[in-house]
Amino acid sequence: MSIIIKDLHAKIGDTEILKGLNLEIPTGEVHAIMGPNGSGKSTLSKVIAGHDDYEVTAGSITMDGVDVLGLDVDERSRAGIFLAFQYPMEIPGVSNANFIRAALSARLPDGDELDAVAYYKNLYSKMEVLDMDRKFTARAVNEGFSGGEKKRNEILQMMMLDPRYCILDETDSASTSMLSRLFLME
């Protein structure tokens, strides 16, 4: 079980950013990718997640044998890929609780509904682990959040979606220490 990237080339507009990247990440392992500003770390993250600004011109990405590049962005998410953004977007008008609830509902078979009581119980228990005040559930997604609060909110989304592969683009020290706590809990 792994994500395998072979000879990946990707461009934005006419500029080629990724020029033949090879990488294999087995499940259960943590890998850190380091490189100078502008070297393409966020580009790689977004290409794996399926951002449509980027065009893959050669190479392949497979996840547990599945051709990731053949999937739409939502299919990639439902298949178990999660991306925590370097610069999380603010979504005014959409509460944090409704946002995560919608993402979870989208994973259910047609016609099924999320149990609201169980959902909030789960959400609050994850927020407790992350030391997040409950008032963040009613606030609009990332709107006016501090940098660190945004990063923590990405980790909350990750914990709620329970993905198979997590890409954390430029994770900060607070979320890294959260993650080590999570690993210790498992």
Ligand X SMILES: Nc1ncnc2c1ncn2[C@@H]1O[C@H](COP(=O)(O)OP(=O)(O)OP(=O)(O)O)[C@@H](O)[C@H]1O
Which parts of this chain interact with ligand X (CB under 6 A)? Answer: 12-13, 15, 17, 35, 37-43, 86, 170
Task: Rank residues 39 and 57 by Cβ distance to Mg ion and give the closer one.
Answer: 39
Site string for Mg ion, 117-156 (x = CB under 5 A): ----------------------------------------
User: Residue 39 touches which of Mg ion, ligand X, none (CB < 5 to 8 A by kind)?
Assistant: ligand X
Contact call for residues 128 and 115 (beta carbons, < 8 A): no
Query: Which 8-state DSSP code applies to residue 34?
Result: -
Contact call for residues 154 and 126 (beta carbons, < 8 A): no
Classify residue 104 as exposed, middle or buried by CB count within 10 Å of its CB (0-12, 13-18, 19+). middle
User: Residue 111 touches which of ligand X, Mg ion, none (CB < 5 to 8 A by kind)?
Assistant: none
Among 60, 86, 122, 176, binds Mg ion (CB under 5 A): 86
Q: Classify 150 as helix, strand or coil.
A: helix
CA-nearest of 168, 158, 151 to 48 is: 168
Task: Rank residues 10 and 63 by Cβ distance to ligand X and give the closer one.
Answer: 10
Which residues of this chain interact with Mg ion, rule CB under 5 A? Answer: 41-42, 86
